[in-house]
């Protein structure tokens, strides 16, 4: 059953990261089987969201959740891109692969960036491949962590890691590869990490259903095993799928809307909150702009949704 959201106090400060950025964005779909657009087609179909203005922009690799479609995240990706980022969101599978193949596919996409990404972008847009961010939602968040830990043998170097309600298992155990150790600060990841979780993710819709982000496998454990610099935020009154678009198509869209406990209310505030945290975090490390991120950490009421478990270990 959907749960009633608390009334969010209106902050006197609206940080620009929670609003649409100054860049117009465009969406590009790239078919992995097509050779007409590039001599080096990607190993998986891609959804790319990029600023339209001429420039060089950091790249964010974004991995979708279990059985979800990359197009379900376009509102969130457009918000982030409007602040000056190129989002590359592969469709890693439509039928869940066995074992470590999902992570290997993600690594193949990461390794393709150097040879192929420029060829599928507009001529006036250049990717900064010295600044590549790993990110993902749910099982895709776990995939991002797995790549950061070296699974799949990625050649591409990464700069930061952002897990959006990452999940590494269900009531039946962890998913392959088994990256959780249950030892504090055990992840051997040499760059900054932010973990954004949801308060309703660990809740179940009933006796016959499993939580979408069960305790022991969710954002809390990912943060616990991350080393500083690390940050943690929880959207208290929102559920595991509430950062997706409002209108989801097809059978998987209907399942995504119904399989998890959701907050009652519009999703846009959560998308703007997550997008704003991502932007502020990356600006903190890439642009030497610490103001917005420090403000969110020290004054979480400025966020569009209620945040708790706010923590930032800078070192």
Q: Where are the domains of the chain?
A: 22-313
Q: Calculate the average pLDDT of the chain.
A: 92
Residues 145-198: tens digit of each pLDDT: 999 999 999 999 999 999 999 999 876 678 899 999 999 999 999 999 999 999
Instruction: Report the Cα 97 to chain-centroid distance in Å.
Output: 20
Q: What is the pLDDT of residue 274?
A: 98
Q: Is residue 35 scored above 60 in pLDDT?
A: no
Please report which confidence band the pLDDT of residue 223 belongs to, taking 50, 70 and 90 as the band edges. very high
What are the start-end ranges of the H helices in the chain? Answer: 74-81, 101-112, 139-148, 219-225, 250-258, 268-286, 291-298
The CA distance from 168 to 149, in Å, is 14
The CA distance from 46 to 89, in Å, is 6
Cis-peptide, bond into residue 46, ω within 30° of zero:
no
The CA distance from 26 to 122, in Å, is 10
Q: Hey, what CATH topology would domain 22-313 get?
A: Rossmann fold (3.40.50)
Q: Is residue 12 scored above 80 in pLDDT?
A: no
Question: Is 83 annotated in the active site?
Answer: no
State the catalytic residue, choosing from 138, 226, 232, 242: 138
State the catalytic residue, choosing from 165, 219, 226, 242: 165
Question: Is 36 annotated in the active site?
Answer: no
pTM, entire model: 0.93
Residues 111-131: tens digit of each pLDDT: 999 999 999 999 999 999 999
The CA distance from 247 to 252, in Å, is 12
State the catalytic residue, choosing from 79, 240, 242, 292: 240
Q: Is residue 109 scored above 80 in pLDDT?
A: yes
């Amino acid at each position: 059953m959907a749960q009633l959201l608390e009334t969010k106090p209106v902050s006197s400060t609206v940080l620009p990261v929670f609003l649409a950025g100054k860049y117009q964005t465009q969406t590009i779909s790239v078919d992995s089987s097509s050779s007409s657009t590039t001599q080096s087609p990607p190993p998986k179909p891609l959804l790319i969201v990029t600023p339209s203005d001429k420039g060089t922009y950091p790249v964010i690799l974004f991995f979708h959740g279990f059985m979800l479609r990359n197009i379900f995240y376009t509102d969130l990706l457009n918000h982030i891109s409007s602040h000056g980022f190129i989002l590359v969101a592969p469709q890693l599978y439509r039928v869940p692969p066995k074992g470590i193949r999902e992570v290997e596919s993600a690594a193949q996409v990461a390794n393709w960036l150097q040879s192929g990404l420029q060829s599928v972008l507009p001529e006036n847009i250049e990717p900064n491949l010295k600044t590549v961010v790993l990110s993902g939602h749910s099982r895709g968040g776990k995939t991002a962590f797995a790549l950061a830990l070296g699974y799949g043998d990625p050649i591409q170097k990464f700069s930061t890691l952002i897990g959006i309600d990452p999940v590494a298992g269900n009531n039946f155990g962890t998913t392959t590869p088994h990256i959780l150790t249950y030892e504090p600060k055990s992840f051997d990841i040499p760059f900054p990490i932010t973990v954004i979780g949801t308060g309703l993710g660990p809740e179940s819709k009933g006796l016959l259903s499993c939580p979408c982000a069960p305790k022991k496998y969710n954002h809390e454990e990912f943060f616990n095993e991350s080393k500083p610099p690390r940050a943690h935020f929880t959207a208290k009154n929102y559920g595991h799928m509430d950062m997706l678009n409002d209108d989801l198509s097809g059978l998987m869209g209907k399942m995504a809307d119904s399989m998890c406990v959701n907050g009652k209310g519009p999703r846009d505030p959560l998308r703007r909150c997550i997008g704003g945290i991502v932007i502020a975090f990356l600006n903190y490390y890439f642009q030497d702009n610490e103001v917005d991120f420090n403000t969110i950490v020290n004054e979480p009421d400025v966020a569009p949704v209620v945040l708790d478990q706010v923590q930032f270990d800078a070192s």
